[in-house]
Every structure is written in structure tokens, then in C-alpha cells.
Amino acid sequence: MLRRIRKWAGLSISPPSPPPEDRPRTPAAHEPVDVTDAGFDALVLQADKPAVVDFWAEWCQPCTIAAAYMGFLCEEFGDDLLVAALDVDENPEIPARYQVMGLPTLIFFRDGAEAERYTGLLEYDELRRKVEQLLAAQPAP
């Protein structure tokens, strides 16, 4: 019956074919990296540059604004800063380790250690200043 309805409506009966693999792909712009409990230490603590991790949850309304700010940070500081996001509902171990009690929480890391944290929604200008301070505190290569 479903096949008849699809045919009558002019919908394809067979699934569409996937796009050709030889199509050139545009590299993604700087975006926050999704991090998990399993990959946190390797990705964040062993990073060769400072990092900011956005602890968030899908149900958290202010987290959506914070997520947009993380995207702005990527565009502005992506070469010098690791910007990561961790879903606390899907990954409970790392938030427990760092005693994340409210959302959104941003934790700034330098050389594998927590340098600063902020819980709640931080205005972008203030967030930008904090990132600039974090980067300025880095020793020159």
C-alpha cells in the first residue's frame, strides 16, 4: 500500500542514491569539538594549546546561547585555542570529576590543568577577554 501511495504522489520508490564520493568536499570551518568521557584526557588535558570546554545539556536553554558563543570563539581563536563541548547527560564522569554543578559551565585549561571556570551565561565580550588572558599567559614557543 505504501508503495502505491508513494508512486501516486510521485515519490521515488527506491531510496535516493548517495552522492558521488569524488565530489570535492569543503573543509569545515572552525567548530567546537565534541568531547566524551573516554576522549577528554587525550583531547583536552594533553592538548598542545589552551582549551575551553563548554559543559552543556540539551534541555538547558542558556546552553544554546553559550554554544553559539563557542562557535564565535572558534572563528576568532580557532588556531590558538581548542574549543570543546561536552554533553553532561551523555558523559557524566568528567562533569563529576570537575564538580560541574550548574549549566552552562565553561572551564578553561592551560597545560592540562584547570586555569579558570565560569558557571552561567557569560557575555561574549567578557568571554573573549578571558580567552585573550588565557592565551596571553601562554609561554612563547
Catalytic residue among 53, 60, 103, 106: 60
Told to judge if 63 belongs to the known catalytic residues of this protein, a careful annotator would answer: yes
Report the first-to-last Cα separation within the chain, whole angstroms: 67
Contacts of 139 (CB under 8 A, 6+ apart): none
**8 A C-beta contact, residue 61 and residue 30:** no
Q: 76-87: string of b/e by CB count within 10 Å (b at 16+)?
A: bbeeebbbbbbb
Told to judge if 74 belongs to the known catalytic residues of this protein, a careful annotator would answer: no
**8 A C-beta contact, residue 114 and residue 107:** yes
Q: SS3 for 88? A: coil
Residue 45's φ and ψ, nearest 5 degrees, are -70, -25
Catalytic residue among 35, 44, 52, 63: 63
Catalytic residues: 60, 63
